[in-house]
Amino acid sequence: MSKEFGIYPSNNIPRLWWGARAIISKREIDIPVGRYNFDGDREATDFRNFFNWIENDAIKKLNDKVKSFNNKNISFDSDDGNYHCEADSKNSGGGYLYIGCWSNK
């Protein structure tokens, strides 16, 4: 399945997925309105937890990586292993960070 923005997992169809194309500016990421997608079960019991993890944990970790000039092949999971995040600049010259976060739970 192809999504307009972000990284969609190639080896499975996640229950919840959020992707974005962030702009890297001053070694931080900025996600403009309209540069992200969501696909999945909006009635999922952990829908809010998923987005809380993205907003409070994943974005912070991504900013930390970008600040240390790491914007390739980023991959990490939530502490409980329920959520996954991947990000990569995809040879954009350092201007963009393509992000995908998902849950298979």
Q: How confident is the model at residue 1 (pLDDT cuts 50, 70, 90)?
A: very low
Instruction: Give the per-residue pLDDT at 3.
Output: 64
Q: In this model, does residue 2 exceed pLDDT 50?
A: no
Length of the chain: 105
43-86 pLDDT per residue, tens:
878 899 999 999 999 999 999 999 988 889 999 999 999 999 99
Taking residue 23's Cβ as centre, other Cβ atoms within 10 Å add up to: 15
Reduced to 3 states, what is the DSSP secondary structure of residue 34?
coil
CA distance 32 to 34: 6
Please report the domains of the chain, with CATH numbers, ordered by start residue. 16-103 (3.30.450.20)
- Per the CB < 8 A criterion, the answer to whether 5 and 18 are in contact is no
9-47 pLDDT per residue, tens:
888 889 999 999 999 988 889 999 989 999 988 887 889
Angstrom CA distances, 64 to 38, 84, 92, stand at 24, 17, 19
